[in-house]
Amino acid sequence: MTETGASAFFGTAVQALLVSERIDTVLVLGATTSGCVRASVVDSVQHGFPTFVVTDCCADRAAGPHEASLFDMTAKYADACTAEEVVSYFEGLPGTVAG
């Protein structure tokens, strides 16, 4: 899917794909925290998905905008988690190698 805007949802079939695959939660990570990540988090919430931002898997051009955006997103839109927490969660699910 090719993005045409800052959000992964804008002008793409992401929302339809998530619904058709019965995905009920969205994890957002990537660059740039203050741009695409934030836009995708806001759109994910607006589409009704519980949303998590993987804080140690996001980056920005400078620390200030990165930290400010994470603060804003986790105060208003998304829950914060780390990559380690995500991996641990998925490894604990039934039917996985570790679970």
For 22-78, how does the pLDDT look when each residue is reduced to its tens digit (9 = 90+)? 999 999 999 999 999 999 999 999 999 999 999 999 999 999 999 999 999 999 999
Question: pLDDT tier at 97 (50, 70, 90 boundaries)?
Answer: confident
Kindly name the residue from 36, 57, 58, 81 that is annotated as catalytic: 36
Domain ranges for the chain, please list them. 21-88
Which two structure tokens, joined as six digits, stand for 51? 């949303």
CATH 3.40.50.850 fits 21-88, yes or no: yes
Residue 58: active-site member: no
pLDDT at 99 over 70: no
Residue type, 54: V
Contact yes or no for 61/85 (Cβ under 8 A): no
61/37 Cα distance (integer angstroms): 13
pLDDT at residue 95 in the model: 83
**0.85 exceeded by the pTM?**
yes
Contact yes or no for 72/38 (Cβ under 8 A): yes
Residue 52 φ/ψ, nearest 5 degrees: -120, 140
* Residue 79 DSSP code: E
* Residue 29 DSSP code: E
